[in-house]
Amino acid sequence: MSDYVNVSEIFGENVFNDSVMRERLPKKVYAELKKTIEEGKDLDPSLADVIAHEMKEWAIDKGATHYTHWFQPMTGVTAEKHDSFITAPMPNGKVLMSFSGKELIKGEPDASSFPSGGLRATFEARGYTAWDCTSPAFVRYDAAGAILCIPTAFCSYKGEALDQKTPLLRSMQAINTQALRLLRLFGNTTSKRVTPSVGPEQEYFLVDKHKFLQREDLIFTGRTLFGAMPPKGQELEDHYFGTIRQKIAGYMKQVNEELWKMGVTAKTQHNEVAPAQHELAPIYAEANVAVDHNHIIMQTLKRVACQHGMHCLLHEKPFAGVNGSGKHNNWSLTTDDGINMLNPGRNPHKNLQFQVVLACILKAVDTHADLLRESAADPGNDHRLGANEAPPAIISIYLGEQLEDVLHQIIESGSANHSLTGEPLSTGVSTLPDFRKDATDRNRTSPFAFTGNKFEFRMVGSKDSISGPNVVLNTIVAEAFKEACDIMEGAEDLEMAAHGLVRKWFTEHERIVFNGNGYSDEWVEEAARRGLPNIRSMVEAIPSLVTDKAVKLFEEFGVFTKAELESRVEIKYESYAKVINIEAKTMIDMAKKTFIPAIMKYTTTLAQSITSLKAVGVEPEVQTEILNQLAGHLKEAQNALKKLEVITDAAIAVTDVAGQAKFYHDKVMPAMEALRAPIDAMEMLMDKRDWPMPTYSDLLFEVEGDF
Ligand code: ADP
Ligand code: MG
């Protein structure tokens, strides 16, 4: 049994969580800290020394040698610098272990090497990390030993956000304030706090590490830049929810156990649509913790894969032609006393508070569809959104039959008098249990779908932080709540005002509701008729961050200043240009140094065999045909290669960031495609043994033989 764990025993064992704090901290200190965590009260700095000391003692008991302020700069990944607990040696040559309150609450990493988007000049190198006590510290074990990780926010000397956490915490404050106002209007006097609940479903691919290491494209860019489709893709639909192969199962077991110990609620695991693709979902948590935990999940998936001889690909589109990876972001609003504001109850037609909440969300998403779209934009997701596997780049809302029916009743007559209910499910088999269906079916093609008591934003990229999408959701809904509360608080008759508001906003924003097939061409046309934006690429999406509408929104709720938004725009353009530049250079390198030489060698051998056959009087018809085909593609590849080199140099020379990003998108990307096509065609013509790197079949079906 030694290989089997008791989850309830190990869960959270490496987390400085509530029970550890209650046990270790003096009562008064514990109570004060709880107030900060639960009610957002300012933390008294004089308590920090006591907390730091106890945290250190606890961590050392766990074997920790170092601590780190763990933060989320705008690089897309987390950052950390380790400091050991040791102090300067004493006269007897021994050291003490120390960790002060100051070290707990404030860190000072050199900020000049992190993206700031012009918020600071390089000489202004100061940046601060500040302890986020609302996300618990934890000890992480790896080859470096045991490290006490302290989640922190990262900002500049002037307090400008340089990270993903600061705006998220600000947006959580905004939605808390406005949601409480709304609850109070409807008679709730008990709830003290409202937090967004977030459950992200993480998709990923696993490939053999040795094969991974033979592909420069995977190493440098996380995706394949070349590769012909294998004979089998995902068309049989046998991988989705299929039996998990033992090699993968062993991997998942270790991932789960490590996550549980760090307090991450790994819950669901299954095979995904594409071969070699899988998913892991935790149980939802407060947005802030969910974002941190998602980073821990991504790190753990990657690290454990290495230990199992595999590599975990988090890229949105590692393989052309098969499903890419995303991250469904489930979102709702929960009070500290357990009320889910997105729960419609059994009778949504009678639930006025829910109708107001829903009307606000429709208004928010319709008004700021461009911002939501932007929050899911990254270079990898450009390959996915709008392709036949992920929601289109058009934002719409799926409500399901029940809520859509309520919406229509209200739009038509001002009120609703019934809610559709789920019918009994009939399978025609007497031994199967009877149960009632949900009132609503699901729609997998919608980018923003109501799923019972939460919305599921399905556009988010698999590799991205989920902070951005949640910052947008929290802030746009806070704005709509504020507007609704301003109207309702000033009204003489609350109920009448609420009914009026619901009908007005349902009517005005009905255009964002779409229950049909989001993958169809008709929807693209229909959406255009409705005036909904269809923002196809990251480069097109970025400017939505700095429209007057966006600046007003984010400034009003203290989530971003205009300068912070401008800095993010710059960072995003730059990072887009850098990503495509690396991809283009990788393709040039691979074509020049690997593919073209291998093909030349192969064609030379083929030509020699043609000569030899002719010499003995055999007509080498097939050989000649293949040689001619290869020669044609080789020429095409060589020309495309030269063009890509020229165009990439031209891109590097563009000086303004927006222009440069656009140049990469409009000019470099098509030149990359033009190089890929002939190389992939040659892969299909050549002897597999002479192809210089693992193919799609090798990468995607590596564990097929394993059961
Ligand atoms: P699905 O609805 O996609 O089939 P689940 O119901 O299991 O799958 O939920 C997927 C994710 O949504 C999980 O992370 C789950 O914890 C989360 N989730 C469930 N309820 C809520 C909620 N009220 N708010 C936010 N996330 C939620
Ligand atoms: Mg889902």
The three-state DSSP-derived secondary structure of 254-299 is HHHHHHHHCCCCEEEEEECCCCCEEEEEECCEEHHHHHHHHHHHHH
Beta-strand pair 277-282/448-450: unpaired
Distance (Å, whole) CA 393 – CA 276: 26
Nearest to 36 by CA among 48, 26, 50: 48
Q: What are phi and psi for residue 486, nearest 5 degrees?
A: -55, -45
Structure tokens at 517: 């097939």
Could you tell me if 164 and 72 are in contact, meaning their C-beta atoms sit under 8 angstroms apart? yes
Residues 6+ apart with CB under 8 A from 188: 335, 339
Tell me how far the alpha carbon of residue 265 lies from the centroid of ligand 2, in angstroms.
Answer: 16
Residue 647, pLDDT score: 98
Please identify, by atom number, the ligand 1 atom nearest to the C-alpha of residue 281.
14
CA distances from 510 to 52, 337, 497, 506 (A): 52, 32, 19, 5
Residue whose CA lies nearest to ligand 1 atom number 19? 284
Tell me how far the alpha carbon of residue 285 lies from the centroid of ligand 1, in angstroms.
Answer: 10
- Element housing 200 (H / E): strand 194-208
Tell me how far the alpha carbon of residue 345 lies from the centroid of ligand 2, in angstroms.
Answer: 21
Report the pocket of ligand 1 as residue ranges, CB < 6 Å: 197-199, 201, 268, 281-284, 330-332, 340, 451, 453-454
Distance (Å, whole) CA 249 – CA 240: 15
Out of 454, 460, 474, mutate this one to test ligand 1's pocket (max ligand atoms within 8 Å of CB): namely 454
Distance (Å, whole) CA 700 – CA 507: 48
Q: What are phi and psi for residue 306, nearest 5 degrees?
A: -60, -40
Structure tokens at 92: 């007897």
Amino acid at 90: M
Residue whose CA lies nearest to ligand 1 atom number 17? 199
Burial 346-364 (b: 16+ CB within 10 A, else e): eebbbbbbbbbbbbbbbbb
Sign of the Cα torsion 618, 619, 620, 624 reads positive
Tell me how far the alpha carbon of residue 391 lies from the centroid of ligand 2, in angstroms.
Answer: 13
Radius of gyration of the chain (CA): 28
**Which ligand has the shortest distance to the CA of 444?**
2
**Where does residue 531 fall: left (phi above 0), alpha (psi -120 to 50 degrees), or beta otherwise?**
left
Please identify, by atom number, the ligand 1 atom nearest to the C-alpha of residue 200.
14
Distance (Å, whole) CA 648 – CA 582: 10
- In the numeric block, the tokens 């033989």 are attached to 705
Q: What are phi and psi for residue 565, nearest 5 degrees?
A: -65, -45
Helices assigned H by DSSP within 40-164: 48-61, 101-105
Out of 293, 330, 331, mutate this one to test ligand 1's pocket (max ligand atoms within 8 Å of CB): namely 330
Tell me how far the alpha carbon of residue 287 lies from the centroid of ligand 2, in angstroms.
Answer: 17
Out of 269, 284, 441, 451, mutate this one to test ligand 1's pocket (max ligand atoms within 8 Å of CB): namely 284
Decide: helix, strand or coil at residue 85.
coil
Consecutive 10-residue averages of pLDDT for the chain (707 residues): 86 97 96 89 87 97 97 93 94 94 91 82 77 96 96 92 96 98 97 97 96 98 95 76 88 97 96 92 98 98 97 97 94 97 96 98 98 96 78 90 95 93 76 74 84 96 97 98 97 96 98 90 92 95 98 98 96 97 98 98 97 96 97 98 98 96 97 98 96 95 66
Amino acid at 161: A
Residue 705, pLDDT score: 58
Please identify, by atom number, the ligand 1 atom nearest to the C-alpha of residue 284.
16
Side-chain half-sphere CA neighbours of 142 within 13 A: 19
Could you tell me if 651 and 664 are in contact, meaning their C-beta atoms sit under 8 angstroms apart? yes
Burial 234-265 (b: 16+ CB within 10 A, else e): beeeebeeeebbebbeebbeebbbbbbbbbbb
Q: Per the confidence metrics, is the pTM higher than 0.75? A: yes
Nearest to 528 by CA among 543, 547, 514, 546: 514
Sign of the Cα torsion 382, 199, 172, 399 reads positive
Helices assigned H by DSSP within 392-545: 400-413, 467-489, 494-509, 521-530, 538-541
- In the numeric block, the tokens 């003290």 are attached to 192
Distance (Å, whole) CA 462 – CA 200: 10
Could you tell me if 441 and 400 are in contact, meaning their C-beta atoms sit under 8 angstroms apart? yes
Tell me how far the alpha carbon of residue 601 lies from the centroid of ligand 1, in angstroms.
Answer: 54
Decide: helix, strand or coil at residue 61.
helix
Nearest to 652 by CA among 640, 661, 642: 661
Residue 232, pLDDT score: 75
Residues recorded for the chain: 707
Please identify, by atom number, the ligand 1 atom nearest to the C-alpha of residue 283.
16
Could you tell me if 322 and 232 are in contact, meaning their C-beta atoms sit under 8 angstroms apart? no
Tell me how far the alpha carbon of residue 284 lies from the centroid of ligand 1, in angstroms.
Answer: 6
Structure tokens at 559: 């989530």
